[in-house]
């Protein structure tokens, strides 16, 4: 019945577009494609296994209902070996990776590659919100110390407090001694700034130097195009030459 209905709609659009003229034919086609996409969405809802896959994909960050449906249909059409290889890669990540016992970065054992490296500067700890930030910093090649990953930032409105980012674990690391500087590299957001202020208050009494990464004008950018906050941060973070 639905197939008959959609073919009827298509026939109606073709007849109407002949009245509207050639200029409106593309618009008519677009309308039909959108209706067809909605039809596919209804079809997904009726298929138990496919619907389950769509529901799981939607839970991923940045994936909406339409994208999840496209991915689900892609998996369905893919070769069995390709789909199983994807499933095995996901399983291997969950079974073989965890968080470093010392810094909470991604690790294949108890300690991550950075904590295991004796050549790194053991007197400096750079604090970030997410593991992905550590690899961005490593690509820059300007830092050779240790890391500490919070796995989040303070956000009272969302119910995220100091215990959720395990701030006490960072404090305990500094209390053990041997740390000369803690570099706070949280994001320049309200949550990131609040986290930096909180950690500063917790770490300052321990005697280690607490610093904040600088923010300012990106390299190659004209100053006139910078926003007010970026200009303010760049002036506050000025240095002697």
Domains annotated for the chain, with CATH where assigned, are: 2-75 (no CATH), 122-213 (3.40.1360.10)
pTM over the 0.75 mark: no
Give the pLDDT of residue 140. 86
For 112-150, the pLDDT digits (tens) are 999 999 999 999 999 999 999 999 999 988 899 999 999
Give the pLDDT of residue 15. 53
For 9-60, the pLDDT digits (tens) are 555 555 555 555 555 555 555 555 555 555 555 454 455 888 999 999 999 9
- Strand pairing category for 121-128 and 98-99: unpaired
All residues at 6 or more sequence positions from 143 whose CB lies less than 8 Å from its CB, including other chains: 126, 137
172, pLDDT greater than 80: yes
Give the pLDDT of residue 199. 96
- Report, as an integer, the average pLDDT of 71-79: 93
Name which of 3-12, 106-115, 210-219 the model is least confident about.
Answer: 3-12
């Amino acid at each position: 019945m639905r197939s008959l209905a959609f073919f009827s709609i298509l026939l109606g659009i073709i007849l109407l577009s002949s009245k509207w003229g050639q200029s409106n034919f593309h618009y008519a086609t677009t309308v039909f494609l959108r209706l067809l996409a909605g039809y596919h969405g209804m079809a997904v809802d009726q298929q138990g296994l496919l619907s389950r896959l769509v529901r799981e994909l939607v839970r991923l960050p940045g994936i909406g209902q339409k994208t999840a449906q496209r991915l689900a249909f892609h998996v369905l059409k893919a070769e069995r070996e390709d789909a199983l290889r994807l499933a095995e890669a996901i399983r291997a990540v969950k079974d073989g990776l965890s968080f470093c016992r010392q810094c909470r970065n991604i690790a294949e054992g108890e300690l991550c590659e950075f904590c295991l490296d004796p050549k790194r500067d053991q007197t400096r700890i750079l604090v970030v919100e997410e593991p992905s930030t550590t690899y961005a910093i490593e690509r820059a090649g300007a830092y050779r110390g240790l890391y500490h990953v919070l796995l989040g930032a303070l956000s009272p409105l969302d119910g995220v407090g100091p215990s959720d980012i395990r701030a006490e674990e960072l404090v305990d690391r500094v209390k053990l001694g041997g740390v000369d500087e803690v570099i706070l590299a949280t994001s320049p957001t309200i949550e990131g700034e609040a986290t930096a202020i909180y950690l500063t208050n917790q770490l300052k009494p321990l005697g280690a130097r607490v610093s904040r990464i600088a923010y300012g004008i990106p390299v190659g950018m004209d100053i006139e195009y910078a926003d007010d906050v970026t200009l303010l941060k760049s002036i506050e973070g000025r240095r002697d030459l």
